[in-house]
Amino acid sequence: MDDDDYWNTSETKAKAFSFDDDVLSPQEILAIGQRSYSGSKEEGVLSSNISSVKPAHIPLSSLVSPKILDLMVLAQSGNDPAKETKQEPEETVAITLKRLVLGRRCSLHVHRSLKSKTELLDGAIAIGDGNAILTVVLFLIQTLNRKVVYELLSSRPAALGHYISTLQSEGKISELTDFLTMLGRSPDSAIYQFQHAVKNQGNNLESLLRKMSNLLANHFNQPGVDAHQTKMVADYVKLLEWQNFAKKTELNNKSALQCLAYCCSFHWTEGAGNMMSPLTLCQRQQISPLQYDWVVLNVHANSNKWDIVESLFTKKDWFGRTTVSSHIPIETLLSRLSELKASERMLASCVNKIAGTEDRLRLAQKYKIHSVVIETLAKQKDRAALTNYKMTLNPQSEEYIYAENTLRDSSIKWKN
Amino acid sequence: MEPLQAKLVSMCLISQHKLEKILSLCGDKSDLIIDSALIKPLERICGVTWLRQHGVEKIYKMDPQLGPTVNIIKVYFIPACIQKYKCVLDHISSQLSQKPSLADLNCFNIIIVPKVLHTYDSILESRGMHGVVKLHSFSWELMSLDDRLLSLELPFLFKQLYVEQNLSLLSSISMSLWSLFHVTGRPKCVMSLGKLSSSVLDILEIYNETYSRDFVKNYSSDEIDTLVLIDRNQDYASSLLTPATYSGLLSEIFNISCGHLDLNVKETKYKKGKLNFTADAEDTSKKVTMTLDSSIDNLYGEIKHRHFSEVLSVLSSKAKLLKNEDIKALGIQEIKHFVTTKLQQVTLFKQNLVNHVLACETIISEMNNKFENITFTESEMLNNRNKKSNYSFVDENFGTDIHMYNSLRLMCLLSLTQGLSYDEYNTLVNKYLLAFGYKFLYIFNNLINAGLLVQPSSPKLSLNISNLSGLSDRLPRWQNSFQSLASKLKQLPSQADNSKTSPSYVFNGGYIPLIAIVCNALLTSESLSEALTKLSVLNDLKLGGSILDNTKEGMETLNEKLSNLKLQNSELDFGCRDAKTLQKLLKTDPKLTSAFSLKTKSVLVYVIGGVTYAEVAACNVIQTATGSKIYVASDCIASGCDFMAANT
């Protein structure tokens, strides 16, 4: 298909995920694709070759000349060319930097004055090769005293960043802390230590709890640390303490919502005040009503306890009709209920909560809540639409009969 | 296949040659112990038979618990990741402690992709293993994953370069370009956008200066006029938005590595990132892999860039054709002919068709209910409309169907486009941590470091500003820096002007990726001057390449450049120079006239830090509209999820 055709047929693109009626369903395509051919017994043998269909290559010799190929190998290895084994007569800053960038062996120790050390650092930063920057920084740390190094680094953020990144990835966390404290960046130090701790402590409750309490008391209370960040660490400690009480290894270092899901499954009936009660955990970790509803819905629906779901999310109104009441916004609730395969009755009471007739009809159709579609169309006295809708239903099904009966209802004054 | 494409595909032979040289240094009869992340890329370079022919006897997957292996000579094969490196050293140490005599046998080798860093040497020395273990750099070449799509397949680069701001591996990008240009010739014009890009060009120039003087004549390319290098953080929006193209959505749902898609319809990226309220069922289904390469799978080539809403109808029309062919009655001779000539093709086609339909079904079932709402909200954010309802959409998402990565994407996009107040920010952080664990508190700091998230100042600090905010609300249509830049570059199509040829379709009509804008400016201009005028709002633009060769005063070596470097943090301008300064010089320096009259007909655009399938599709639109050629290259092909996962 050429490109003009492409753009001509792209009208549908504005409406995502809508398909022509003429289009075969995925199942139909699959059926055609999987139908075997007459005389295709070799299929199994052939299909094993399928993935190995590889394009033919141009021979290496016509791609690049042998000399260039040697050069590429040389560049990769970072070795000196064979004929240049003798050392360059004078190691200038530029020569050293160039050798660093090329990955060649070089001795930084010829640079002894602070001036040439500074030039090395600035040159490496200017080139922007992290490997060279880091090599120079580590050389400075080896050969200068801390105060001088820190002065050099604190005015050069790029060099500083590389050093911090290395200390972090090598796990030298106490060095990193000292360094950042000296620079007056204790808030950064707190979060780096936090990251290091959670990545390395594993899920051992005792040591996590000790580590976090210590971080909270000694690092997250420093001036300059964001108050909300501190609160999060404090909440972490609270949750770890709760997990310590719960003594369930499968809950160790799990999230608050995961713990809540556990409590909902196994301690649903326990009242507030009891440590394992979902309500206690909710209060303790300040889980929002929305998140609480979401967890409760999913846990109970997944274990098929629809009675609980219903009793929680529906209530009878003055006229004895059931209506849905939840912190989950109604469209989201509807979509989730449908995914969880809730009963049509449940879905119907949910969609009926939507005030706008158009919206209600659209969603009822989307989630195939037939009774609501039929009732809404009847209320609109739209016989044509209802007749059309009936055609899409399975004949003899309950909803088909309901639609038919509604159409025959003489009390409705149809508008068409 | 066109000649250049054939060359690009064949570059794996150069990688093979480089590996061969390394293996020949390791010695015969070796055990290859490979990190699992490198298996797929290695398969693109060589097969098991080839490895056998080059001294590898046994192959093991690297695992800290790996027991003794058969052969004396060990060749470890790992990516440049310090934890993995240390793990290998531990592994070697434990073998040495059991059998100290191994130390003298010269038998331990570690091949590190893409290069050995200086710190690796120091670690080796500090552990007393210098001389016992040999380190080898293996810089494989760009891999041709699909038509005009190249990738270095180093998926850990984004994390290092942007999240950790560690540029240690940046030179690997330069090296990949240096090699590439030996195959394709050098582009006449080189353009960089962003700090990392200009450093890549500076380092590239060091390679050129070092290796070209002896015998390499680097010819200039007929097939690639202009190279555009661009930093990922110049256009984060494109990496955060939900794609609407088929290939884009595939990468949202499935794991793709090295152009191979793992068609796991049960455990999708969508499902894995969500809170799980049910017991895990063990996945026992057969593994199906799809190769996302149009030269192998024509059908994929036809649908990869399409808006997803069209894909099923294309697949269904293909199926109908197949059905018609099926009912033809065939004679014996015809069957023979069919079996020998067409059967394999048809079988392959059928298999591809089935796989694409399965993939489509999965995309629909996972996204159907959400796609429209999400892309609508994203578009509202981009245009700075209805901040309140956008925030409540994100807040609801965090409170209900929260996703480990996709929810963060929404938060980042909102933060970059419309901003988050201190309270809004903290509400989202709190919900996220309740759902996935307080241990992830550090993610937000990483996102801030990477520039994906803007940290709102705490209310105490912003007291004075809050008085002013009442005023700014009354000012006519306040725009933040995102919208002002995006609208100057015409990245935000107005709804009236939603023409069908707009590349914005890749984000459901909401946004045009920056690389498409830059390519379009270059390819629709009569001269470089004109293109630069169109792109004048971009501040970090620099120029280099052979067009500027005759503007250099004498020989400017690195040495001279460095000695002229006076102020701290000043730019080196070795491989490229500031575009605005050059434009000013144009008036006085006639030598520049010819340089700026270059008309670009083909572009190689190289994104540093990962490119998305949606961006590739957008470039394809420009390519078609201008009748030109655009090659897209990057260190990896990533999805929005991957950019978020890099912060964990």
DSSP A56-125: PPPPHHHHS-HHHHHHHHHHHHTPPPGGG-SPPSS--HHHHHHHHHHT----GGG--SHHHHHHHHHHHH
Are A103 and B178 in contact (CB < 8 Å)? no
Q: Which residue in the block uniquely carries the two structure tokens 């919208």?
A: B483
DSSP notation for A163-188 = HHHHHHHTT-HHHHHHHHHHTT-HHH
Percent of chain B with pLDDT over 70: 90
Distance CA A78, CA B137 (A): 8
**Where exactly are the structural domains of chain A?**
92-170, 185-248
Are B538 and B193 in contact, with CB atoms under 8 Å apart? yes
Distance CA B242, CA B245 (A): 9
Q: Are residues B589 and B624 in the same domain?
A: yes
For residue B474, give how far its alpha carbon lies from the nearest alpha carbon of chain A (Å).
Answer: 31
Which of these, A168, A167, A108, lies nearest to A136 by C-alpha position? A108
Phi-psi region of B268 (alpha: psi -120 to 50; beta: other; left: phi over 0): beta
B289 assigned to some structural domain = no
What average pLDDT does this structure show over B190-195? 94
Q: Tokens in use for A266?
A: 């196994």
Q: Are residues B183 and B310 in the same domain?
A: no
Handedness of CA B435, B438, B439, B440 (dihedral sign): positive
B38 assigned to some structural domain = yes
Q: Tokens in use for A195?
A: 């990251």
pLDDT for residue A23: 58
The torsion defined by the Cα of B560, B566, B569 and B571, in degrees rounded to 10, comes to: -40
Radius of gyration of chain B (CA): 26
Q: A362-376, B537-551, B554-568: which has the highest mean pLDDT?
A: A362-376
Contact with chain B for residue A34, Cβ under 8 A: yes
pLDDT for residue A6: 31
Nearest by CB to A291, which of B117, B364, B434?
A: B434
* Total domains present in chain B: 4
- Pairing of β B577-578 and β B541-544: antiparallel
Has residue B50 got a pLDDT over 90? yes
Which of these, A383, A385, A388, lies nearest to A416 by C-alpha position? A383
User: With bands split at pLDDT 50, 70 and 90, how would you rate the model's confidence at B550?
Assistant: low
For residue B361, give how far its alpha carbon lies from the nearest alpha carbon of chain A (Å).
Answer: 7
Has residue B369 got a pLDDT over 90? no
The tens digit of pLDDT for each residue in A98-115 reads 999 999 988 899 999 999
State chain B's mean pLDDT as an integer: 88
Q: Which amino acid is at B552?
A: K
Are B184 and B219 in contact, with CB atoms under 8 Å apart? no
Long-range contacts of B485-489 (CB under 8 A, 24+ apart): B485/B537, B486/B237, B486/B382, B486/B511, B488/B537, B489/B514, B489/B517, B489/B535, B489/B537, B489/B538
| Selected residue with higher pLDDT from A83 and B333 | B333
For residue A232, give how far its alpha carbon lies from the nearest alpha carbon of chain B (Å).
Answer: 7
Are B608 and B231 in contact, with CB atoms under 8 Å apart? yes
Has residue B138 got a pLDDT over 90? yes
Neighbouring residues of B579: CB distance < 8 A, sequence distance ≥ 6 = B191, B532, B541, B542, B543
Domain boundary among B140, B167, B197: B140
Domain boundary among B88, B118, B140: B140
Contact with chain B for residue A30, Cβ under 8 A: yes
Handedness of CA B273, B278, B280, B284 (dihedral sign): negative
B492 assigned to some structural domain = no
Contact with chain B for residue A410, Cβ under 8 A: no
Inter-axis angle of helices A278-285 and A227-246, to 10 degrees? 160
Domain boundary among B74, B106, B140: B140
pLDDT for residue B236: 97
Cα diameter, chain A: 108
User: 10 Å Cβ neighbour count for B501?
Assistant: 13
B361 assigned to some structural domain = yes
The residue length of chain B stands at 648
Strand partners, B60: B33
Three-class secondary structure of residue B112 per DSSP: strand
Q: Tokens in use for B222?
A: 């007929």
What average pLDDT does this structure show over A322-327? 80
Q: Which amino acid is at B387?
A: K
Distance CA B577, CA B272 (A): 46
pLDDT for residue B197: 96
Q: Are residues B528 and B619 in the same domain?
A: yes
| Selected residue with higher pLDDT from A41 and B218 | B218
User: With bands split at pLDDT 50, 70 and 90, how would you rate the model's confidence at A88?
Assistant: low
Distance from the first to the final alpha carbon of chain B: 41
Substitution target in B347, B457, B576 with the highest count of A β-carbons within 10 Å is B347
Are B319 and A26 in contact (CB < 8 Å)? no
pLDDT for residue B343: 79
Are A13 and B302 in contact, with CB atoms under 8 Å apart? no
Contact with chain B for residue A359, Cβ under 8 A: no
- Residue B242 gets which letter from DSSP? P
User: With bands split at pLDDT 50, 70 and 90, how would you rate the model's confidence at B76?
Assistant: very high
Q: Which amino acid is at B312?
A: L
User: With bands split at pLDDT 50, 70 and 90, how would you rate the model's confidence at B270?
Assistant: confident
Distance CA A344, CA A342 (A): 7
Which of these, A332, A338, A295, lies nearest to B396 by C-alpha position? A332
What average pLDDT does this structure show over B292-303? 93
Classify each residue of B563-588 as buried b or exposed e, where b means 16 or more C-beta atoms within 10 Å of its C-beta: eebeeeeebbbbbbbbbeebbeebee
What average pLDDT does this structure show over A236-256? 94
Distance from the first to the final alpha carbon of chain A: 45
Nearest by CB to B347, which of A28, A47, A72?
A: A47
Q: Vertex B518, ends B512 and B520: CA angle to 5°?
A: 80
pLDDT for residue B568: 44
Are B642 and B158 in contact, with CB atoms under 8 Å apart? yes
Strand partners, A314: A324
The tens digit of pLDDT for each residue in A171-230 reads 899 999 998 988 888 889 999 999 999 998 888 899 999 999 999 999 998 888 999 999
Q: How far is CA B389 from the centre of its chain?
A: 32
- Residue A325 gets which letter from DSSP? -
* A283 CB burial (10 A radius; 0-12, 13-18, 19+): exposed
Q: Return the residue of B nearest to A1 by Cα.
A: B302
| Selected residue with higher pLDDT from B508 and B283 | B508
User: With bands split at pLDDT 50, 70 and 90, how would you rate the model's confidence at B470?
Assistant: very low
The tens digit of pLDDT for each residue in B426-465 reads 999 999 999 999 999 999 999 999 999 998 877 665 444 4
User: With bands split at pLDDT 50, 70 and 90, how would you rate the model's confidence at B566?
Assistant: low
Q: Are residues B552 and B606 in the same domain?
A: yes
- B131: domain CATH number? 3.40.50.2060
Q: Tokens in use for B305?
A: 């860039």
pLDDT for residue B586: 78
Q: Which of A111-115, B31-35, B324-328, B536-540 has the lowest mean pLDDT?
A: B324-328
Has residue A53 got a pLDDT over 60? no
B175 assigned to some structural domain = yes
Residues 489-508 of B with CB under 8 A from A: 498, 500-501, 505, 508
pLDDT for residue A205: 92
Are B322 and A258 in contact (CB < 8 Å)? no
| Selected residue with higher pLDDT from B181 and B215 | B181
Q: Are residues B147 and B117 in the same domain?
A: no
For residue A243, give how far its alpha carbon lies from the nearest alpha carbon of chain B (Å).
Answer: 13
State chain A's mean pLDDT as an integer: 84
- Pairing of β A322-324 and β B30-34: unpaired
User: With bands split at pLDDT 50, 70 and 90, how would you rate the model's confidence at A324?
Assistant: confident
Has residue B94 got a pLDDT over 90? yes
pLDDT for residue A38: 37
pLDDT for residue B282: 61
* A397 CB burial (10 A radius; 0-12, 13-18, 19+): exposed
B488 assigned to some structural domain = no
Substitution target in A58, A203, A239 with the highest count of B β-carbons within 10 Å is A58
Domain that holds residue B535: 142-241+501-638
- B612: domain CATH number? 3.40.50.1910
What average pLDDT does this structure show over B403-416? 96
Size of interface A-B (CB pairs under 8 A): 359
Has residue B332 got a pLDDT over 80? no
Q: Are residues B263 and B335 in the same domain?
A: yes
B269 assigned to some structural domain = yes
The tens digit of pLDDT for each residue in B60-75 reads 999 988 888 889 999 9
Has residue A48 got a pLDDT over 60? no
User: 10 Å Cβ neighbour count for A80?
Assistant: 16
pLDDT for residue B478: 45
* A405 CB burial (10 A radius; 0-12, 13-18, 19+): exposed
Are B310 and A39 in contact (CB < 8 Å)? no
Q: A20-29, B271-280, B301-310: which has the highest mean pLDDT?
A: B301-310
pLDDT for residue A9: 36
Neighbouring residues of B292: CB distance < 8 A, sequence distance ≥ 6 = B145, B146, B247, B250, B256, B259, B260, B261, B300, B304
B479 assigned to some structural domain = no
> What are the angstrom distances between the C-alpha of A148 and each of A51, A152, A163, A179, B119?
60, 6, 15, 13, 22
pTM: 0.90
Contact with chain A for residue B184, Cβ under 8 A: no
Inter-axis angle of helices B613-626 and B246-253, to 10 degrees? 170
Residues 244-283 of A with CB under 8 A from B: 253-258, 261
Q: Which of A88-92, A117-121, B130-134 has the lowest mean pLDDT?
A: A88-92
Contact with chain A for residue B448, Cβ under 8 A: no
Q: Are residues B521 and B537 in the same domain?
A: yes
SS (H, E, C) B399-411: HCCCECCHHHHHH
Strand partners, A254: none
pLDDT for residue B479: 54
